[in-house]
């Protein structure tokens, strides 16, 4: 709505230098959390939580109070305005009109925070949108690595458990990849990283997945195949020598996750013995120096007899959520200026020119609140044409694409497809859909007065 407002929807919204500068400020705040009550004086945050949460909500509200601001709480939006049928777009317009100076939003639909930014008059912070992203958790996690290890680049971070539905994991792996950390995945079978995440890691961050030998990780790796994702830049690879794959010799951090059972569909079944980190596993040589992290709440993923182990930092990790969220709030409220350069604007986003919303995700906000959303997509590659929903980041399952001005459609792998201007692109699941919209495979003569499609169509 207001282009000058800065939001935090995705971890991508912050450049690496900005993130590191925020860490410095967080560290300053953490010296004495009670000494910064002038920063947000006179300002108000609104917690709009469409999903139950205590940890994240209280963490944000504590941060705002510690900055001297006021807090409005709507801890269960599903029971209030939403029950009267109000759309998220309307709620955001009202709350950002005069009630609050910043909105902290949690929602069950992927892309909800993105939608909110389109209607808000104040900054929006994504405090979790479905199984999509949770950037402040990621900032907190990165901050913990930075505090504990002094750096992020080159660290070996192992992610274990439900990597599919954990939104914290998705924001986290993108950031780890950007920072040049090495990622070892130990997913519960059936709960691997979603394909769109892996694809993005490869295409945007130059990360190469390699089958890894998890034998040195003990019990944890017994029931699953380890996957090793590493930036293609040549750093630290000398550690790994196994010819068949990579052997996981040394891990800096183990990041355990909870099965996100509340998001499971009937097709998802947990193994009889869910993954759990035990004292025995942690005594493995490869994990000798590893800090143990968890976004919490945990169930049985970490045995409670590890709580007193000095490597277990999950409670410290949660405590550090306050200073880092103080820094984020201060930044977005305009009460903290960074000297680091901002992330560049991603120019690959375009509206879908015509037709049905091509997003395949039934819980994406572009489908659950379609009255207020104009379908948009990110053009990830032009050959073949591949797009991702601008809200939930899932790939558009379109084998055919058309041009809204010529009415002609092509297979997305074709050279012709490549020529279509991004803002003229139409996505078709199948040819029937193309025909239904009046598209054909042969160009009709261009009617007079319509500008012909330029051959030098705008680059990605």
State the catalytic residues. 55-56, 84, 106, 134
* CB 53, min distance to a second copy, A: 6
Judged by beta carbon, residue 271 or residue 297, the one nearer a second copy is 297
Q: Which of residues 92-111 bind a second copy (CB under 8 A)?
A: 93-95, 97-101
* CB 179, min distance to a second copy, A: 24
* CB 177, min distance to a second copy, A: 28
- Sole binder of a second copy in the list 26, 43, 181, 253 (CB under 8 A): 43
Stretch of residues binding a second copy (CB under 8 A), selected from 16-24, 87-95, 169-177, 281-289? 87-95
DSSP β-ladder status, 376-382 and 385-389? antiparallel
Query: What is the b/e burial string over 330-352, where b = at least 16 CB atoms within 10 angstroms of the residue's CB?
Result: bbbbebbebeeeebeeeebebeb
> d(Cα 459, Cα 456) in Å, to the nearest integer?
8
Q: Find tokens 């009937």 and name the residue.
A: 266
Can residue 70 be called a binding residue for a second copy (CB under 8 A)?
yes
- Sole binder of a second copy in the list 5, 15, 17, 58 (CB under 8 A): 58
Q: Which residues pair with 75 in a beta bridge?
A: none
How many residues would you count in the chain? 460
Can residue 62 be called a binding residue for a second copy (CB under 8 A)?
yes
Q: What tokens appear for 143 in the block?
A: 């901050």
Can residue 80 be called a binding residue for a second copy (CB under 8 A)?
yes
| Distant-in-sequence, close-in-space partners of 4: CB < 8 Å, separation ≥ 6 | none
Can residue 44 be called a binding residue for a second copy (CB under 8 A)?
yes
Q: Which of residues 350-389 bind a second copy (CB under 8 A)?
A: 371-372
Nearest to 197 by CA among 224, 225, 159: 159
Query: What is the b/e burial string over 73-105, where b = at least 16 CB atoms within 10 angstroms of the residue's CB?
Result: ebbebeeebbeeeebbbebbbebbeeebbbbbb
Can residue 34 be called a binding residue for a second copy (CB under 8 A)?
yes
DSSP β-ladder status, 253-256 and 156-161? parallel
In the DSSP assignment, the letter for residue 51 is: S
Judged by beta carbon, residue 156 or residue 367, the one nearer a second copy is 367
| Distant-in-sequence, close-in-space partners of 353: CB < 8 Å, separation ≥ 6 | 403, 404, 423, 424, 425, 426
Can residue 273 be called a binding residue for a second copy (CB under 8 A)?
no
Backbone angles phi, psi at 43, to 5 degrees: -105, 160
- Sole binder of a second copy in the list 76, 148, 215, 431 (CB under 8 A): 76
* CB 52, min distance to a second copy, A: 4
Give the interface size with a second copy as a residue count (CB under 8 A): 61
Can residue 311 be called a binding residue for a second copy (CB under 8 A)?
no
**Could you tell me where the beta strands, DSSP code E, fall in 91-189?**
102-107, 124-129, 156-161, 182-187
Query: x/- contact string, 291-310, with a second copy (CB under 8 A)?
Result: -----xxxx----x------
* CB 68, min distance to a second copy, A: 9
Residues at the site binding a second copy, with contacts judged by CB under 8 A: 33-34, 37, 41-44, 46, 52-55, 57-59, 61-62, 65-66, 70-77, 79-81, 83-86, 90-91, 93-95, 97-101, 258, 262, 296-299, 304, 315-316, 318-323, 371-372
């Amino acid at each position: 709505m207001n282009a000058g407002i800065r939001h935090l929807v995705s971890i991508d919204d912050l450049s690496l230098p900005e993130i590191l500068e925020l860490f410095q400020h967080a560290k300053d705040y953490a010296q004495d959390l009670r000494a910064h009550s002038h920063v947000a004086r006179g300002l108000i945050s609104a917690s709009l939580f469409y999903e139950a949460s205590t940890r994240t909500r209280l963490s944000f509200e504590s941060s705002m109070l510690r900055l001297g601001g006021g807090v409005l709480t709507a801890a269960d939006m599903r029971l209030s305005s939403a029950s009267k049928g109000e759309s998220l777009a309307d709620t955001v317009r009202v709350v950002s009109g005069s009630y609050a100076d910043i909105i902290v939003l949690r929602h069950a639909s992927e892309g909800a925070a993105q939608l909110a930014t389109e209607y808000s008059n104040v900054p929006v912070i994504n405090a979790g949108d479905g199984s999509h992203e949770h950037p402040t958790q990621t900032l907190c996690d990165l901050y913990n690595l930075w505090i504990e290890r002094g750096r992020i680049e080159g660290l070996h971070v192992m992610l274990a458990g439900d990597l599919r539905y954990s939104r914290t994991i998705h924001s986290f792996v993108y950031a780890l990849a950007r920072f040049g950390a090495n990622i070892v995945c130990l997913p519960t079978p059936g709960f691997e990283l979603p394909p769109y995440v892996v694809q993005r890691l490869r295409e945007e961050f130059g990360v190469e997945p390699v089958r890894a030998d998890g034998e040195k990780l003990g019990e944890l790796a017994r029931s699953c195949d380890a996957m090793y994702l590493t930036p293609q830049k040549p750093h630290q690879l000398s550690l790994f020598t196994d010819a068949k794959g990579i052997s996981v010799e040394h891990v800096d951090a183990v990041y355990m996750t909870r099965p996100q059972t509340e998001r499971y569909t009937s097709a998802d079944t947990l193994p009889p013995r869910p993954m759990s980190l035990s004292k025995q596993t942690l005594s493995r040589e490869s994990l000798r120096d590893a800090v143990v992290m968890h976004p919490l709440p945990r169930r049985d993923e970490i045995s409670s007899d590890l709580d007193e182990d000095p490597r277990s930092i999950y409670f410290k990790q949660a405590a550090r959520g306050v200073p880092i969220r103080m820094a984020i709030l201060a930044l977005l409220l305009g009460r903290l200026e960074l000297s680091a350069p901002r992330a560049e604007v991603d120019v690959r986003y375009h509206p879908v020119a015509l037709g049905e919303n091509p997003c395949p995700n039934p819980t994406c906000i572009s489908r659950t609140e379609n009255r207020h959303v104009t379908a948009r997509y990110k053009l990830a590659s032009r050959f073949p044409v591949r797009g991702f929903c601008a809200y939930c980041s899932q790939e558009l399952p379109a084998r055919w694409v058309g041009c809204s001005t010529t009415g002609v459609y092509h297979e997305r792998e074709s050279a012709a497809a490549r020529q279509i201007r991004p803002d003229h692109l139409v996505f078709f699941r199948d040819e029937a859909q193309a025909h239904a919209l009046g598209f054909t495979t042969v160009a009709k003569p261009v009617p007079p007065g319509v500008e012909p499609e330029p051959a030098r169509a705008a680059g990605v």
